[in-house]
Amino acid sequence: MLRPLYDWALKMAASRHAMVILPIVAFVEATFPFVPPDAMLAPMVLARRERAWLYAGLCTVGSVLGGCAGYAIGYLAGPFATHLLALTGRSGGLHDFQTLFAEVGLWVILIKGLTPVPYMIVTLASGLAHFSLPVFIGASIVTRGGRFFLEAVLLRHPDAKAFVDKHLTALAIGGVVLLAAALVAVKLLESHHGG
Q: 96 exposed, middle or buried (CB, 10 Å; 0-12, 13-18, 19+)?
A: buried
- Render pLDDT for 126-153 as a digit per residue (tens, 0 to 9): 888 888 899 889 988 988 898 899 888 8
Beta carbons within 10 angstroms of residue 97's beta carbon: 25
Asked whether 13 and 43 are in contact (CB, 8 A), the reply is yes
Q: Checking phi first, is residue 157 left (phi over 0); if not, alpha (psi -120 to 50) or beta?
A: beta
Residue 98's CB: how many other CB atoms inside 10 A?
16
131: left (phi over 0), alpha (psi -120 to 50) or beta: beta
Q: What CA dihedral angle connects 105, 135, 58 and 149, to 10 degrees?
A: -50
Q: According to the model, what pLDDT value does residue 84 have?
A: 78
Which of 2, 69, 15 is CA-nearest to residue 47?
15
The pLDDT value recorded for residue 73 is 93
pLDDT less than 50: residues of the chain: 1
Neighbours of 7 (CB within 10 A): 13
Please state, rounded to an integer, the average pLDDT across all residues of the chain.
75
pTM (2 d.p.):
0.72
pLDDT for the residue numbered 185: 58
pLDDT at 130: 86
Which pLDDT score, from 0 to 100, does residue 72 have? 95
Phi, psi of 147 (to 5 degrees): -65, -50
pLDDT value at position 1? 47
Predicted local distance difference test score (pLDDT) of residue 154: 85
In SS3 terms, 39-72 reads as HHHHHHHHHCHHHHHHHHHHHHHHHHHHHHHHHH
148, 150, 154, 155: CA torsion to nearest 10: 10
